[in-house]
Amino acid sequence: MKLAPSIYTVDFSRLAEQISDAERAGVDVIHLDVMDGNFVPNITFGPMVCAAVARSTSLMCEAHLMINGPERYFRDYKEAGVSRIIVHVETCPHLYSTIQQLRQLGLQVGITLNPLTPLETLKPALPLVDLVLIMSVEPGYGGQKYIPQSAQRITTVRRWLDEIDSQAELEVDGGVNLSTICSVRDAGASIVVVGSAVFNDKYSVADSVQMLRTSLQECQGEDEHPL
């Protein structure tokens, strides 16, 4: 299971340091939550901060664009050093051409949808993408509670991807922590976004990542030796 820490809850006064701590702790991708105060209530950051993050890590950076009219900024995020862009189907009425635009820029393509947007909305695009992101919280904030119904959505998309032999990543975002990470993995996710579970004021980044890894090993162990 890959870990993608979201910098949404990072201590921005120690951004580069915390990113390096996460990289040293063995995470796989840096997840950048871009919010415009329109598609979601919050405003976070844009290409400049993404460029600063990309300069401070050798890990892949993916931008989760919770913004209206995302195609206006694809080139800016590409130039900032982002390798994968994840767009909300709710903001892309011309999703086929949006995907083409990302491909033309040499970017990896991710699609996502809000927790109650029907999954069928993204099904036709599955053969065209590198990643599907299942939102397990309403987008716009970190530290929210995982929506339990998400497990069903994860398994459904997992099945759809398997049916078309897709190699796309299945990512889950929102409320993934020590108590939910095992069920998210068991439902078929290959990568999880972890915000407050990694960047918080209770534990160091290294300890937070280690606890997530240990939790995964323990639930893996349970599977191997069912009681």
Residue pointed to by tokens 């300069």? 55
For residue 33, indicate whether it is catalytic: yes
Instruction: Select from 137, 172, 187, 205 the one that contacts ligand DX5 (CB under 6 A).
Output: 137
Minimum distance, C-beta of residue 68 to ligand DX5, in the bound complex (Å): 15
Instruction: Tell me the C-alpha distance between 119 and 123, whole Å.
Output: 7
In the chain, the amino acid numbered 192 is V
Minimum distance, C-beta of residue 162 to Zn ion, in the bound complex (Å): 24
Residues numbered 179 to 198 that lie near ligand DX5 (CB under 6 A) are 193-197
Q: Which residues contact 6 (CB under 8 A, 6 or more apart)?
A: 31, 32, 33, 64, 142, 173, 193, 194, 195, 198, 199
Interface with Zn ion: number of residues (CB under 5 A): 3
Tokens linked to 69: 């009219």
Counting every residue, how long is the chain?
A: 227
Tokens linked to 85: 């862009």
Pick one of ligand DX5, Zn ion, none as the site partner of residue 142 (Cβ within 5 to 8 A by kind): ligand DX5
For residue 11, indicate whether it is catalytic: no
Q: Which residues contact 89 (CB under 8 A, 6 or more apart)?
A: 95, 111, 112, 113, 117, 121, 122, 125
Nearer to ligand DX5, 11 or 223 (CB): 11
Pick one of ligand DX5, Zn ion, none as the site partner of residue 137 (Cβ within 5 to 8 A by kind): ligand DX5
Please tell me whether residue 86 binds ligand DX5 under the rule CB under 6 A: no
Minimum distance, C-beta of residue 226 to ligand DX5, in the bound complex (Å): 29
Please tell me whether residue 47 binds ligand DX5 under the rule CB under 6 A: no
Residues numbered 164 to 193 that lie near Zn ion (CB under 5 A) are 173
Q: Which residues contact 143 (CB under 8 A, 6 or more apart)?
A: 9, 195, 196
Q: Which residues are catalytic?
A: 33, 173
- Contact footprint for ligand DX5 (CB under 6 A): 6, 8-9, 31, 33, 64, 66, 137, 139-144, 173-176, 193-197
